[in-house]
Structure 1
Amino acid sequence: MDDLTFAIQNRERIRVVARSFGRAGKMLLKPGRILVGEGCLLKLCRRGPKPKVFFLFNDILVYGSVMVPGCWNNKKKIVPLEEVQQEDMEDGMAMANQWLIRMPRKSFYVSAASPEEKIAWMGHIEKCKTLRMQTKGLPTDNDADKFATTWIPDKASAICMRCTKHFNVATRRHHCRKCGYIVCRACSKSRALIPNISSKPVRVCRNCVSSTQEGKVQGQKRKKVKHWKKNSVEESPTQPEFETSSDEDLEDKNGYQVPTKWFNNQLEKEDYSPYCYIKPMHMNPPHTGL
C-alpha cells in the first residue's frame, strides 16, 4: 500500500468518525491528522463504570458517549496528546485491566477488555504522545499540579467525607473539584477558580478552600451576593455562574463492547496493511453502519 492509498483510507476513516458525532465532529478532519486506533473502553464515572468510545489520533485523544453502537456517538471530548498523562493501576473491585488517564480538565480511570488490550492502548497513546512532544519541541516532564484530581465514585461512600453526614434523598452527593472527595452541600458551599478545570469558579470543599487563596476570595464575593439578595426583589444579573454538576449525570448505560482496532499508519512505515489487530479473532472489523 503506497502513501496515497493510505492517505485516502485514513481520510475516509476520519470522515466516518466525524459523522458519528454529527455536526460536532466536523473539526476532526484536519490535514496531517492520522487515525491510529479506535475502540470501546469502560470509563469509571461518578455512578459507576460506563462504556465510552475512544479514538486515538496522532495528535489528539477523542472520547464520547455511545448512543447507537457503530453509528452515533455523543458528548465528544477532544484532548491534545501533550496534555495526557497515564498511570498503570492494579485491578480494582469495580474494574479489571484499568489504568488512570490524567488531563488538565478531567482525570478518570478506564478499563480494557483484556490485559493485552490495556497494554496496547497505553503503548499507542504513549508512543503518539512522545512523537507529538518531539515534533512540537515540548519538554517531556509533566507537572502534577496541572492535572485534574480523579473523582471518587458515588458508591464508594455513604457519608460525607468531611462531616460524616449520611447521604439520603434530602442530602445529595457532591464532589470537590480540588480533592475529588464526596461531600455534602453544606461542606461544599465555597467556590474557587481552578484555571485548568474551568474558567468559572467551581465547587470546592471546606478543607480545600482554606488552602486556596482563590477560594477565599470567591467565598467573600459569594457572601456579598447572598447579602445583596436578601435586600432585593430581583436577582442580580451579574451574579457569578458556578459549575454545579457533572455532565455524566445525564449519560446513558448500555452494554456496548466491541474489540479495539488499530490502523497501521505512517508511524509504522514497515507495514501498510489496512488493519492491525491485537487478537486473531479480531480479523473482521465491526460494521460502522455509515
Structure 2
Amino acid sequence: MVDNLANSEINLQRIAAVENCFGASGQPLAVSERVLVGEGILTKECRKKPKPRIFFLFNDILVYGTIVINKRKYNSQHIIPLEDVTLEVLPDTNQVKNRWMIKTSKKSFVVSAASLTERKEWIGHIEECVRQLLEKTGRQPTMDHAAPWIPDRATDICMRCTQTKFSTLTRRHHCRKCGFVVCGVCSKHRFLMPRLSTKPLRVCGLCYKQLLAEKEEEAEKERQKSEKFHLERPVYDPSSEEDSDKSDDDSEKAEQLPMGNEFYSSDVSWSAFHR
C-alpha cells in the first residue's frame, strides 16, 4: 500500500499540507519515494511535564513538533530517521497510560497514546516501516541508544549523592550519558561524546569515570594493535658501510656504463616507474 502511494498526487498533497503547517520554521519534507503513513497527537514526557505533540510517520522518517493551532500551525520541528529507531513498550503509571519509548542513538523519549488501540497502531506501523527500510538498505538495527532523561518531577534530591535537595536556588541537571537528575556538584564534568554532540556534554561523576575507563581501554587496544603491526613487519638493516667503487673496479664483467657528461647526454633512459 505504501509503495503504491509513492509519488501519487494525494500523497504529495498530504506532504505539502504538513510542510505548510510548519511553515518557514520547518525543513522541506517532499522527497522522491517518501510516503506519509499516518499522523496524530501523542503525549510526550518532557523534562518539566507531559505535553501534547503532533507526530507524522513517514516511511523513512518520524517527524514531530509543538502544536500552535491544531491542523494549521506547528513549530519546533524534529526529524528522526526511522533506520535509527527502536521501540520499547512501557508499563502504565498512575498518571500516564499506553506508554512506549522511542529510542535512537541521539535521543530517546517516552510517549503515550490516547488509547491502547492507538498505541498498537502506532507501534505496528512504525515497526513495519523500520523493517522495510532496513531490508531495503541492508543495514542492521541500531543497538546503541541514548538514555532517556528522567523527568524533573521524578525526584526532589540528586539521584547520585542522594544528599542535595533541589530548590529554586539549587537547580536540577541531567547527565547526558545515563539521564539521571543530578546536582551541579555531581555533574561538574564534561565529556565529548561524538554520537550525541560535537561539544563536550555534562555527565555525572560515575558516568565520567566509566567513559574515561572506556576511552583508556580503547586507547590500549589501539596501542596493542600498533605494536603487533610493527612486530609483524619485516625489518631491513641498512648497510653500515659506505658505497664503495671497489666492487665496480674488481668486476671484469661489469657492464660499461656512461659516466659524467656522457651519462647526461645519453639518449638512453636509466629510470623506470611502475604505474
TM range, normalised to the smaller chain? 0.7 to 0.9
Query: Separation in 1 of the partners of 2:97 and 2:5?
Result: 40
| 8 Å CA contact retained: 2:6, 2:34 | no
Equivalent in the alignment of 1:68: 69
**Cα offset for 1:215?**
10
Equivalent in the alignment of 1:154: 152
Matched, 1:176 2:191: no
Query: Separation in 2 of the partners of 1:187 and 1:134?
Result: 43
Equivalent in the alignment of 1:255: none
Which one-letter code corresponds to 2:170 in the other structure?
A: T
Query: Separation in 1 of the partners of 2:17 and 2:213?
Result: 44
Which one-letter code corresponds to 2:160 in the other structure?
A: R
Query: Separation in 2 of the partners of 1:133 and 1:181?
Result: 32
Q: CA 1:213–1:7 in structure 2 vs 1: closer, same or farther (change >3 Å)?
A: same
Equivalent in the alignment of 1:116: 117
Root-mean-square deviation (Å) = 2.1
Q: CA 1:26–1:187 in structure 2 vs 1: closer, same or farther (change >3 Å)?
A: closer
Max Rg structure: 2
**Cα offset for 1:155?**
0.5
Which one-letter code corresponds to 1:205 in the other structure?
A: C
In the TM superposition, 1:6-85 aligns within 5 A as: 7-85=8-86
Task: Give 3-state SS (helix, strand or coil) of 1:169's partner.
Answer: coil
**Cα offset for 1:93?**
2.7
Q: Percent identity, please.
A: 46
Task: Give 3-state SS (helix, strand or coil) of 1:171's partner.
Answer: coil
Query: Separation in 1 of the partners of 2:193 and 2:51?
Result: 27
Structure having greater relative contact order (Cα 8 Å, sep ≥ 6) = 1
Equivalent in the alignment of 1:86: 87
Once the two structures are superposed, residues 221-242 of structure 1 have per-residue CA deviations (whole angstroms, 9 ceiling, x without a partner) of xxxxxxxxxxxxxxxxxxxxxx
TM-score between both structures, scaled by the size of structure 2: 0.73
Task: Give 3-state SS (helix, strand or coil) of 1:27's partner.
Answer: coil
Query: Separation in 2 of the partners of 1:169 and 1:5?
Result: 52
TM-score between both structures, scaled by the size of structure 1: 0.70
Equivalent in the alignment of 2:227: none
**Cα offset for 1:147?**
1.0
Unpaired stretches in structure 1, ≥5 consecutive residues: 218-290
Query: Separation in 1 of the partners of 2:23 and 2:213?
Result: 38
Task: Give 3-state SS (helix, strand or coil) of 1:208's partner.
Answer: helix
Q: Which structure 1 residue ranges, 4+ long, deviate > 4 Å from structure 2?
A: 3-6, 214-217
Query: Separation in 2 of the partners of 1:126 and 1:28?
Result: 21
In the TM superposition, 1:133-144 aligns within 5 A as: 133-140=134-141, 142-143=142-143
